[in-house]
Homo-oligomer: A and B are copies of this chain.
């Protein structure tokens, strides 16, 4: 993965730097998605001199190098996840506690292709986010109903 990035960097006539190495390392360690701000704060813990702009610029680069994927839960800020050991997947998002799960359903994937095909589209990517209540929050909800406060 690091190699992939170095190859990309070289192919574009760009340069490898201490900052890029550090950001990449931390980004790859993080499973699931991470916001630029979270990443920035993790990076700062290791090296407080790195600037916020560098993190943003690096994320853009990672996307171009096809190492990161940008996801958007529509809550006002972006998130990124690396593709290492992470094939494409969709998200189950709890609207109460914010927990997310990565899921894939091959049947759905296939139907998406068919659906697009029926309209003459050729698909390059998709994003599917399913919002609802996670098991824990459903349980809590049920408990509240049984015994209302007050």
Q: Are B130 and A121 in contact (CB under 8 A)?
A: yes
- Among the stretches A18-26, A37-45, A112-120, the one at the interface with B is A112-120
The yes or no answer to A122 lying at the interface (CB within 8 A) is: yes
Separation of A138 and B120 alpha carbons in the complex (Å): 9
Per-residue CB contact flags for chain A residues 10-35 toward chain B (1 = under 8 Å, else 0) read 00000000000000000000000000
Say which size band chain A's interface belongs to: 20 to 34
Interface string of A60-85 (1 = CB under 8 A from B): 00000000001010100010000000
* Nearest-neighbor residue (CB-CB) of A99 within chain B: B121
A58 within 8 A of B: no
- A1-9, A49-57, A101-109: which lies at the B interface? A101-109
